[in-house]
C-alpha cells in the first residue's frame, strides 16, 4: 500500500471515530450512515468504471437483491442477519455471473444498456412479486452479533464506516496488486492485454462480481438499518445517483468514490428547499462535472496540492 493511501485511511478512521464525539446528534449520524452505505456501492462502481473501464447502470439491481434477499431470509425464514447478508451477497454474485458472462463480451453502449435492463427487471420483479408489492414490508431485524443487537444510531455509524474502511483497505490492495495493474491495462487497451496473454474477460467478470457483492452488502446494511424496504429505493434513479457520486468524486481514484458519496448524500440535505427539483439538480451536477471536471473532485484536489507543494519547494 502506498504511503498516501495509508495516510488517507488513517485520516478516514480518525474522522469516523471523532465525528460522533464532536457532533453526537442523531441527524448528523444518520446522514453519515447513508453516506457510508452509498460509499460502499460507489467504491464497487468506481473499480468497475475507473479501473476496468466498464459502465454499469444496474447497481440498484444488486443493491435491491442485497436488501430484499437478506430481509426475506431473516424475516420469513428466521436466519440470523449476518448469515442472511452473506447469503444475499452470494446470490448477487451468482446474478452477476449470469449477467456478466455474456454481457462483458460486449463493449460500451451494449453493457450500459444490458445492465440498465437488468436493473429494471429486478425493479419490476420486486414490485410484482416482492413481499408487500410496491408498498414494501417492514419489521426487518437489526444487525446483531452473538445475540447482541446493534440498534443505536452511533453503533450503526461505527459498524457501517468500519465496513467501509475494511472494504477500502481491501480495494486499495486489490488495485495495487497484479490484478489491479491488469485492470488498468484493460482500460488502456484491451487488444494489447489480449496480446500479452491476459484473460481480459475473466478479469472483467471478477471485477463485475466484486462490484455486485459490494452493492449487495450495502443493500443488506441499508435494509437492516432502516428496517423497512420498498421497491422505490432500488429504481433506476439509485443507479444514476451512484454514477453521479463516482463521477463527481473522480472516476480514476477510489477515494473519489467516498468523497463523491458523502458530497452527493449531504447535498440534498443542504438543498432541502429544492425538494421537487432534486432530479434536475442531480442531472445538472452530472452534466456539468462530465463536461468541465471530467477528472472529478479528488484528482483535481490532488493536482492543486501538488502545485502548492511545488511552489513551496520552489521558494526555498
Partner 1 sequence: MLTVFLQFLFSGLTVGAVYALVAIGFNITYNATSIINLAQGEFVVIGGLMMWFFSESLKLPFFVSVALTILTAGIIGFLMERLTIKPLKNPDLLLMIMITIAVSIVLRGILMFSFGKEPYVYPAFTEGEPVNIYGAIIQQQALWVIGITGFCIVLLFFFFKKTMLGKAMLACSVHTTAAKLVGINVSRMVMFSFILSAIVGAIGGMAITPISLMEYDKGPMLAVKGFCAAIMGGIGSNRGAVLGGFLIGVLESMTAGYIHSGSKDAVALVILLVILFLKPSGLFVSKTTLDLRKF
Contact residues for partner 1 (CB under 8 A)? Answer: 49, 53, 55, 57, 99, 102-103, 105-110, 112-114, 116-118, 120-121, 124-125, 127-128, 236, 240, 243, 247, 276-277, 279-284, 286-287, 290-291, 294
Cell of 22: 464532536
Instruction: Assess contact for 178 and 116: CB atoms under 8 A.
Output: no
Question: In the bound complex, what is the minimum distance in angstroms from residue 245's beta carbon to partner 1?
Answer: 13
Instruction: Assess contact for 52 and 176: CB atoms under 8 A.
Output: no
Question: In the bound complex, what is the minimum distance in angstroms from residue 118's beta carbon to partner 1?
Answer: 7
Question: In the bound complex, what is the minimum distance in angstroms from residue 104's beta carbon to partner 1?
Answer: 11
Question: In the bound complex, what is the minimum distance in angstroms from residue 96's beta carbon to partner 1?
Answer: 14
Beta bridge mates, 145? 148
Positive or negative, the CA dihedral 262, 169, 167, 177 is positive
Instruction: Assess contact for 76 and 137: CB atoms under 8 A.
Output: no
Judged by beta carbon, residue 48 or residue 209, the one nearer partner 1 is 48
Judged by beta carbon, residue 139 or residue 188, the one nearer partner 1 is 188
**116: Cβ contacts below 8 Å, ≥ 6 apart:** 57, 58, 236, 239
Vertex 309 angle, CA 306 and 312, to 5°: 155
Question: In the bound complex, what is the minimum distance in angstroms from residue 200's beta carbon to partner 1?
Answer: 16
Judged by beta carbon, residue 10 or residue 288, the one nearer partner 1 is 288
Cell of 175: 488495485
Alpha-carbon distance of 59 to 42, in angstroms, equals 9
Judged by beta carbon, residue 283 or residue 310, the one nearer partner 1 is 283
Judged by beta carbon, residue 221 or residue 298, the one nearer partner 1 is 298
Amino acid at each position: 500500500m502506498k504511503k498516501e493511501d495509508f495516510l488517507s485511511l488513517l485520516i478516514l478512521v480518525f474522522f469516523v471515530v471523532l465525528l460522533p464525539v464532536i457532533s453526537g446528534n442523531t441527524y448528523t449520524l444518520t446522514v453519515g450512515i447513508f453516506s457510508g452505505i452509498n460509499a460502499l456501492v460507489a467504491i464497487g462502481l468506481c473499480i468497475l468504471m475507473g479501473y476496468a473501464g466498464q459502465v454499469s447502470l444496474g447497481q440498484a439491481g444488486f443493491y435491491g437483491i442485497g436488501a430484499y434477499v437478506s430481509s426475506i431470509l431473516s424475516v420469513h425464514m428466521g436466519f440470523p442477519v449476518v448469515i442472511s447478508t452473506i447469503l444475499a451477497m452470494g446470490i448477487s454474485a451468482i446474478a452477476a455471473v449470469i449477467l456478466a458472462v455474456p454481457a462483458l463480451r460486449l463493449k460500451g453502449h451494449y453493457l450500459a444498456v444490458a445492465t440498465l435492463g437488468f436493473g429494471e427487471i429486478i425493479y419490476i420483479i420486486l414490485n410484482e412479486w416482492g413481499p408487500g408489492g410496491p408498498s414494501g414490508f417492514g419489521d426487518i431485524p437489526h444487525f446483531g452479533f452473538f445475540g447482541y443487537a446493534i440498534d443505536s444510531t452511533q453503533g450503526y455509524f461505527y459498524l457501517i464506516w468500519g465496513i467501509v474502511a475494511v472494504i477500502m483497505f481491501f480495494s486499495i490492495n486489490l488495485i495495487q496488486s497484479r490484478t489491479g495493474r491488469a485492470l488498468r491495462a484493460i482500460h488502456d487497451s484491451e487488444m494489447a492485454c489480449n496480446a500479452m496473454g491476459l484473460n481480459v474477460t475473466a478479469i472483467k467478470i471478477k471485477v463485475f462480481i466484486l462490484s455486485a457483492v459490494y452493492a449487495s452488502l450495502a443493500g443488506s446494511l441499508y435494509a437492516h438499518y432502516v428496517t423497512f424496504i420498498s421497491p422505490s429505493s432500488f429504481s433506476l434513479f439509485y443507479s444514476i445517483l451512484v454514477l453521479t457520486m463516482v463521477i463527481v468524486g473522480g472516476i480514476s481514484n477510489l477515494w473519489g468514490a467516498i468523497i463523491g458519496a458523502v458530497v452527493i448524500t449531504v447535498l440534498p440535505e443542504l438543498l432541502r428547499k429544492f425538494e421537487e427539483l432534486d432530479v434536475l439538480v442531480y442531472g445538472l451536477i452530472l452534466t456539468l462535472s462530465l463536461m468541465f471536471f471530467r477528472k472529478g473532485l479528488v484528482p483535481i484536489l490532488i493536482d492543486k496540492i501538488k502545485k502548492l507543494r511545488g511552489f513551496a519547494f520552489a521558494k526555498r
